[in-house]
Structure 1
């Protein structure tokens, strides 16, 4: 079974959209859980593939590199994933979206398995990733502003009446 970090330290970040709309606090809500049958806590690899959208190859690779260690097995040797494993995969998916390198994700998983003595190092790793995400968000906002400017330019150019030469 995979161990998941029970401590959550999120700092609210407000992202203002360039178009007139209210600011959105992206950290206010807890992540949505994977859809799971009530009372069930054992899933085959094919069920996990359906829940997560990951491939069976990716799940096996995650296990092989130490990102998903200690997956339970049935008496026939088939992998049996738990709800905690699904929660961990959801978290890994978020880390992937941040652009965190796989090696850092594996390091985080190793630190997590080492226990509470690694809280500070885990926090530092997540804070560094957060800084990278904020930088990327700023770059994307700048890019969005350029796109909006160009879109407005072309929309305005269509409104200008054509001039005919006499």
Structure 2
């Protein structure tokens, strides 16, 4: 399967797939007689996993470390768990920060709404 087909099936741009390949993140990529990348079912699964982890804001260095551990099977499970746990903590901190920002914005909006409704009532009374 070509890079364009892999891109269509995974929803990841061909540019990103090439970048991940250059970073040696995707196993199972071979080259045909024209030196074009050929993707296996396994490589498509890895591309989807990378895309998911990137959307979860995991740095590529951590993704590489995680993917390098996968062939180790159950022996590397604690290390893989630790990587995911670290990412979970990072996301929870980001989520809390976003919640704090949202609370501030909602407080400001409520203040403005109260001031605007008071101003409109004063204008109506004239």
TM over 0.5: yes
Residue equivalent to 2:103 = 145
Alignment TM-score, normalising by the size of structure 1: 0.63
Q: Quick check: 2:28–2:42 contact (8 Å CA) kept in 1?
A: no
Residue equivalent to 2:16 = 58
Deviation at 1:76, TM superposition (A): 4.0
Map 1:114-153 onto structure 2 (within 5 A). 114-153=72-111
Greater RCO structure (CA 8 Å; 6+ sep) = 1
1:46 correspondence with 2:23: no
Q: Distance in 1 between matches of 2:43 and 2:116?
A: 54
Alignment TM-score, normalising by the size of structure 2: 0.80
The one-character-per-residue Cα deviations of 1:17-52 (angstroms, maximum 9, x if unpaired) are xxxxxxxxxxxxxxxxxxxxxxxxxx3211222344
Q: Distance in 2 between matches of 1:138 and 1:152?
A: 21
Deviation at 1:122, TM superposition (A): 0.7
Q: Distance in 2 between matches of 1:58 and 1:159?
A: 50
Q: How many residues align?
A: 123
Runs of at least 5 residues in structure 2 that lack an aligned partner in the other structure: none
Runs of at least 5 residues in structure 1 that lack an aligned partner in the other structure: 1-42
Q: Distance in 2 between matches of 1:99 and 1:113?
A: 23
Q: What RMSD over aligned residues (CA atoms) do the two structures have, in Å?
A: 2.4
